[in-house]
Amino acid sequence: MMSMLNKFVLFPLLVSFAGAAVAGPAAIRMTDAWVPEPPSVSRNAVAYITLVGGEQDDVLLGASTPAAEVVELHETSLANGMLRMRPVASLAVQAGKRVEFTPGSLHMMLISLRQPLRYGQKVSLELRFEKAGKQLVEAEVRSLPPAPMATGAESHHHQH
């Protein structure tokens, strides 16, 4: 009785999962991409993102952006009381697992900015995965500490 019921409930779910897999190559979810507004004198910036692995293990191989010459994956660590950054060649994103880039640990280093990045702007990032291939995401430039909630999407500044 119970197993009959389960079959009926499960079947449509399986179908919709299969449909989703065919519909989009985005096996990996990318959320909350953001860039702290860099100091105006800075030629570099950092970007943070949260990745959630898809149905299979994957590996983040690198990233790029039109906003900077080079993007490197970095990890900050504390060694002998000093904060140090080291390049990360690649990053495993296991199936269903969450990988958070956050201040003080993993970040993407945007090296040699092509233009100043200001609060409210969007920076497009292209992440390159071993299996999922190239995936685009928009990162929002935010001020640190977080800006007042009042300003909306209308206040974008554009660089000329």
Considering only residues 74, 101, 110, 123, which one is a binding residue for Cu ion as defined by CB under 5 A?
Answer: 74
Q: Which residue is nearest to Cu ion (CB)?
A: 74
Site for Cu ion in 32-71 (CB under 5 A): none
SS3 17: helix
CB atoms within 10 A of CB 145: 6
Considering only residues 18, 20, 70, 85, which one is a binding residue for Cu ion as defined by CB under 5 A?
Answer: 85
Nearest distance from C-beta of residue 136 to Cu ion, angstroms = 22
Residue 29 or 64 having the CB closest to Cu ion: 64
Does 88 bind Cu ion (CB under 5 A)? Our answer is: no
For tokens 């554009």, name the residue. Answer: 158
Residue 57 or 64 having the CB closest to Cu ion: 64
Enter the tokens of residue 90.
């690649």
Let me know how long the chain is: 160
* Beta-carbon contacts of residue 122 (< 8 Å; ≥ 6 apart): 138, 139, 140, 141, 156
